[in-house]
Amino acid sequence: MAEKDILSELKKIIEKNDKAVKGGKGKIMGTEGYGFSEDGVFKYALAKTKAGYSFHSMAIYANPDLHADFKSKLKKAKFQKGCVNFKSLEDFPLNVFEEHMKKSAKVDFSPVIEHYKKKKK
């Protein structure tokens, strides 16, 4: 699968499974990618990096159980607190990502939204 196609497929999975987010193309970590927010607060991003790809998620950053569950299913991907780096779909299978996005969409994101909205005041 071509590089742009990988990001497009991941984008479609986010849009299909988390109806609360709005997103589009933009600069993510200095490169072209897709960003998504819920109620004006950043939630997810996808980007092509020098070494592969990157999925950023405030949902896994704010929810240790969701992070641990996702990490347990992706042995070859490199996890940080709210970011997953991977080289190919072999390291980040679409079916595992879709399962994760279904769970992620169900997690109550309102505490994160409230936290960031209070900071802006």
The band of 8, judged by pLDDT with boundaries at 50, 70 and 90, is very high
pLDDT given for residue 15 in this prediction: 97
Task: For residue 38, name the pLDDT band (cuts at 50, 70, 90).
Answer: very high
Give the distance, in angstroms, between the CA of residue 13 and the centroid of all CA atoms in the same chain.
Answer: 10
Flag whether pLDDT at 4 surpasses 70.
no
* CATH number of the structural domain spanning residue 32: 3.90.1150
In a domain, 95, yes or no: yes
Based on the structure, what is the number of domains in the chain? Answer: 1
What range does the domain containing 89 cover? 3-112
Average pLDDT score over the chain: 92
Question: What stretches of the chain adopt beta strand conformation (E)?
Answer: 21-28, 31-38, 41-48, 53-57, 78-79, 83-86
